[in-house]
């Protein structure tokens, strides 16, 4: 199957309220262009340098999403153009994104990454850290004029056990709804980024509004 066929198959399965991020990390520009020519405009990368190299040479109507773990000292390289940063998990990182966004006269949209998996290796905030960070940003909002927290992101445990994955996705959806019900910030969070090639249908059934799909579009890495 071609990239274009894969893309069309996946898009035909997505409800209208779910946004597709085509995860193109490690793939050559020619592959991304095939997806672009098939109409895809949102691409996800997990390394800032690789994303920046692709941004420089590809069409400028592409929205670039940073889906990987972000080191503060590299934020400046993507601040001029990045559309959405999925993996924000500390105050220090939010402050740096705000600072670099201000230098570029931009407001950068961010998702806070929540730790929902059972593994030790995944990044993210636990529920309490998340609420504390949201309250802090809300309370100190004059110092965060150049970022906008628009939602949450999570990754389930890497397992074949669908019940466990479902439990973790539902947990994240519960946290998302709770934040909105309690109005911890003064506007509703709109994006819930969860689901990858192996589990996006399950994620959507659990309330995902944004799926990050790589290998099912571009083939294995
Ligand atoms: C690589 C990656 C994906 C895509 O994974 P696939 O299994 O190839 O769909 C999604 N989210 C994050 C954070 C990733 O690093």
Q: Please tell me the distance between residue 214's alpha carbon and the centre of ligand 1 in angstroms.
A: 6
Cβ–ligand 1 contact at 215 (below 6 Å) = yes
Ligand 1 atom having least distance to the Cα of 212: 10
Q: Helices (DSSP H) in the chain: which residue ranges?
A: 3-13, 29-37, 48-57, 75-78, 91-103, 127-139, 162-182, 200-205, 215-218
Cβ–ligand 1 contact at 67 (below 6 Å) = yes
pLDDT in tens, 140-190: 999 999 999 999 999 999 999 999 999 999 999 999 999 999 998 999 999
Q: Which residue has the tokens 């309330």?
A: 207
Q: 3-218: which CATH architecture?
A: Alpha-Beta Barrel (3.20)
pLDDT in tens, 21-49: 999 999 999 999 999 999 999 999 999 99
Q: Please tell me the distance between residue 177's alpha carbon and the centre of ligand 1 in angstroms.
A: 24
Ligand 1 atom having least distance to the Cα of 215: 8
pLDDT in tens, 97-115: 999 999 999 999 999 999 9
Q: Give residue limits of the domains in the chain.
A: 3-218
Average pLDDT of the chain, as a whole number: 96
Q: Which two tokens stand for residue 57?
A: 């040479």
What's residue 123's pLDDT?
Answer: 82
pLDDT in tens, 115-130: 998 877 668 999 999 9
Strands 191-193, 147-154: pairing is: parallel
Cβ–ligand 1 contact at 27 (below 6 Å) = no
Cβ–ligand 1 contact at 175 (below 6 Å) = no
What's residue 144's pLDDT?
Answer: 98
Q: What average pLDDT does this structure show over 1-6?
A: 95
**Percent of the chain having pLDDT more than 70?**
99
Cβ–ligand 1 contact at 212 (below 6 Å) = yes
What's residue 119's pLDDT?
Answer: 78
């Amino acid at each position: 199957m071609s990239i274009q066929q894969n893309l069309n198959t996946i898009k035909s399965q997505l409800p209208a309220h779910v946004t597709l991020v085509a995860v193109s990390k490690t793939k050559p520009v020619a592959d991304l262009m095939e997806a672009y020519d098939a109409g895809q405009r949102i691409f996800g990368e997990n390394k800032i340098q690789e994303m920046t190299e692709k941004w420089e040479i590809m069409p400028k109507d592409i929205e670039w999403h940073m889906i990987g773990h972000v080191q503060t000292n590299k934020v400046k390289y993507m601040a001029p153009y990045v559309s959405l940063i999925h993996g924000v998990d500390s105050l220090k990182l939010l402050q740096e994104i705000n600072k670099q966004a201000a230098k570029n006269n931009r407001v950068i949209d961010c998702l806070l990454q929540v730790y929902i998996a059972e593994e030790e290796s995944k990044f993210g905030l636990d529920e309490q850290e998340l609420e504390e960070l949201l309250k802090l940003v809300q309370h100190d909002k004059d110092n965060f004029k150049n970022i906008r927290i628009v939602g949450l992101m999570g990754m389930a445990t890497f397992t074949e056990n669908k019940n466990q994955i479902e439990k973790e996705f539902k947990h994240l959806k519960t946290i998302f709804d709770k934040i909105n019900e309690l109005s911890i910030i003064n506007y509703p969070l709109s994006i819930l980024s969860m689901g990858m090639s192996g589990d996006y249908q399950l994620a959507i059934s659990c309330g995902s509004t944004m799926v990050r799909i790589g290998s099912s579009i571009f083939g294995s890495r």
